[in-house]
A and B are shown apart, each in its own frame.
Chain A
Amino acid sequence: MSIHHHLDAATLMRYASGDLDTAFTVVVASHLAMCDACRESVRVAEAMGGQCLDDAPAPMLSDGAFARLSHAIDAGVTRDTPVVPRAREIGSQHASDVPLPLRPFVGDTFDDVSWRMIVPGVHRHRIELADTQSSLYMLKIGEGRKMPEHGHGGPEMTLVMRGSYSDTLGHYGAGDVADLDEHVEHQPIVNSSEPCICLVATEEPTQFKGIVSRLMQPFVGI
């Protein structure tokens, strides 16, 4: 997979320090699942945390803190065994192109997702999350269709998981992420023959009503 659009360094740092909220964490983790380069970069960012831990103040622990731990271990603890690296399964990408971090939310295949049509050619699936101020949803958009406008001027992150689209910022294929600090006016158009499936996080709850009315506009003239 050749990925051309990566995560912003500030986003990597927020992920590494645990500052991203759940919706954005899922999008970032899904990109990391697809992108070797950004997984490397996260390790660099996390090294900052290792440094801070080394330099952290070291207050006394309560008496018997280790004994408590030791008793808990004696009571029986399951321990993990080493993970054996497996060869990358070439060609199997399409069989399961739902990134691992997204699977708990949508299952192993995009086909089983309960897509809801917003307008012809554009489907949406909203992912409900606990304690988040943001929105997380997937879009499935057919060839030649425009991506709906979303967000309200705040940060937004879009990860392409299947198919591709183009806009003024470039061409986005599977694995590419548009990590935008501020909402940019752009008109992404799907240019793959298969539907483009994206994962989107926006900082404020998206008013889908607004999306539908804006989406309808192009159709009025048809």
Chain B
Amino acid sequence: MLKVLRVEKPMGDRERGSDQQMMQSLIKAIAESGDRDAFEALFARFGPRIKGMMISSGATDDMAEDLVQDVMMTIWRKAALYSPERGNVSTWIFTIARNARIDRLRRQPTQPYVDVDTITLECDAPTAETQVIGSQSDARVREAVELLPDEQKAVIELAFLRFKPQSTIAKELNVPIGTVKSRMRLAYQKLKEHLEELR
């Protein structure tokens, strides 16, 4: 499992860009030739993190493992639909994990999300802006999130890592829902501005 060790080696910020490029080439190999080694390398990188995310959001160990299987299987099936111009690999896998979790918890399927993805793929020619948001921007996203004040970071982590509903975030942080919303808006605004500076 040398391959895995290479993937899991701790990285500095400088290496993250090439890390994303490597993830993209793994997805490409899965899409084009069903490369099982590439899939295993991707699994080694993301499987544990997907599990960690699910457990952080309250899933049992068994359920988290099941969701890892679901998410990885979706990645295998949809690898050809991944488009680097529209976001980095981690973001794409996040959306798959989010959808898998919703599908597990709700009776109503995530068809609206799937439909929006379909429209994106069919209609949106990648623009200068999407390119920016895409692969090159990985380090910028990290920078922007790290620059956020702690109170905004906390809201982001509760919403996107632990999948807490807005009302629960308000309770946990002991602030009104309006405050949660304004922190969300500020965090979003900062990330957007940070990415736009590149244009």
Q: Which residues of A contact B (CB under 8 A)?
A: 8-10, 12-14, 16-19, 22, 25-26, 28-30, 32-33, 36, 39-62, 65-66, 68-70, 72-73, 77-83, 85-86, 88, 100-101, 104, 129-132, 181
Contacts and interface: CB of A to CB of B under 8 A. Distances in A.
Interface residues of B, number: 85
Nearest to B4: A66
A103 B64 CA distance: 32
Given A41-B192, A47-B191, A57-B56, A18 B90 contact: no
Contact of B78 (A28, A46, A80): A80
Main secondary structure of the interface of A (DSSP, over half): helix
A39 B72 contact: no
Contacts of B78: 79-80
19 contacts: A14-B166, A17-B159, A17-B160, A18-B102, A26-B112, A39-B124, A43-B133, A46-B95, A47-B191, A48-B159, A52-B94, A52-B160, A58-B52, A59-B51, A65-B43, A83-B122, A86-B123, A104-B111, A132-B108
Contacts of B80: 79-82
Contacts of B76: 69, 73, 77, 79
A40 B166 CA distance: 23
A59 B47 CA distance: 9
Contact of B95 (A25, A49, A58, A79): A49
B38 interface: no
A49 B160 contact: yes
Interface string B152-191: 0000110111011110000000000010011011011101
B159 A13 contact: yes
Given A48-B187, A59-B52, A69-B43, A83 B108 contact: no
Pick the most buried of A9, A48, A129: most chain B CB atoms within 10 A of its CB.
A48
B50 A53 contact: yes
A48 B156 contact: yes
Contact of B188 (A12, A29, A73, A129): A12
B interface majority secondary structure: helix
Interface in B42-77: 43, 46-53, 55-56, 65, 68-69, 72-73, 76-77
A46 B56 CA distance: 18
Nearest to A22: B108
B93 A48 contact: no
Contact of A44 (B98, B108, B133): B133
B61 to A, nearest CB: 8
Contacts of A86: 122-123
A90 B129 CA distance: 23
Nearest to B77: A79
B147 interface: no
A46 B68 contact: no
A72 B184 CA distance: 40
Interface in B73-116: 73, 76-81, 86-95, 97-99, 101-102, 106-108, 111-113, 115-116
B18 interface: no
A13 B184 contact: yes
A181 B178 CA distance: 9
A77 B68 CA distance: 17
A39 B116 contact: yes
Contacts of A68: 69
A130 B65 contact: no
B187 to A, nearest CB: 7
A8 B181 CA distance: 10
Contact of B101 (A18, A40, A72, A104): A18
Interface string B126-159: 0101100100010001100100000000001101
Contacts of A47: 87-88, 91, 133, 137, 141, 191
Contacts of B25: none
A32 B48 contact: no
A203 to B, nearest CB: 11
